[in-house]
Amino acid sequence: MKISYIVALLASAAVASAQSKLVNAQDGSGTFGYKHTPIQPWSGYHVHDPDRPKPKPVVPASVPGGPPSDAVVLFAGKDMSEWRPTNWKVENGYIEATGGQLVSKREFGDCQIHVEWRTPDPPEGDIMNRGNNGVLLMGMFEIQIFDSYSTKIYPDGQAAAVYAQTPPAVDSALPPGVWQTFDIVFFAPRFKDGKLNQAARVTVFHNGVLVHHNQEIYGQVTHAVLPKPFEPGKSTGPLAFGGHHNPVRLRNIWVRPLP
């Protein structure tokens, strides 16, 4: 008998033995797996355990940048019902900034955020206010929107910076008049006994390019001074955008609260 044939028989027997130990999940879902395998110290479940909780199904968007099925859609082209009263304008499927902030009615903590934005073309405003706006996480931590493609502002104030704190790792800004995207994963600050236990952190993709990875946020947004301390005990807040009287446009805004 050839050695290769013997090896094949042994392998087949091993597979059959493993399959004979397959068991179904107790919840009747039809999920199968193993119960004779080692227990993972970090989870308490067997390796390949069929009784491990199943991830919740989420339907991805059918178009790039669209909201998945579990997202809270804050703006999809017309409806402003998710926002507090504002004089910002809705035209042709986008919101155009005026003065004052645009603030969501809902509050969010840990979340994934998608927003598309465009600065004016030709650029409008003085050198400090060209395409000036910002994504305000919990209303107090800012990911900067700015026409830094044509205006060479300080690095911690350019597009995609954690404003007044951390510049983006790379500059992926596009010219004025071109729609740009932010995809943001935000983890809110944590408190214990009224004291800060864990600072806020953020991961940001600007136009599909990773520019912040698990970046610590050092405090509340400020201009030209060090960040203000975290507000004690506060781990949720609205999503907001700055006004600055510059006609920056926004569209396709959605948020996925994270468990």
pLDDT tens digits, 207-258: 999 999 999 999 999 999 999 999 999 999 999 999 889 999 999 999 999 9
pLDDT tens digits, 102-160: 999 999 999 999 999 999 999 888 889 999 999 999 999 999 999 999 999 999 999 99
- What is the 8-class DSSP label of residue 55? P
Contact residues for 36 (Cβ-Cβ < 8 A; gap 6+): 21, 46
Within 13 Å and on the Cβ side, how many CA atoms surround 141? Answer: 30
Question: How much is the average pLDDT of 6-21?
Answer: 53
Contact residues for 134 (Cβ-Cβ < 8 A; gap 6+): 142, 143, 144, 145, 163, 221, 241, 242
Q: What is the largest CA-CA distance in the chain?
A: 86
Give the whole-angstrom CA distance, residue 80 versus residue 101. 14
Domain boundaries, the chain: 1-56, 72-257
Give the whole-angstrom CA distance, residue 37 versus residue 26. 17
Tokens of 124: 């409008």
Higher pLDDT, residue 15 or 78? 78
Fold category of 72-257 in CATH? Jelly Rolls (2.60.120)
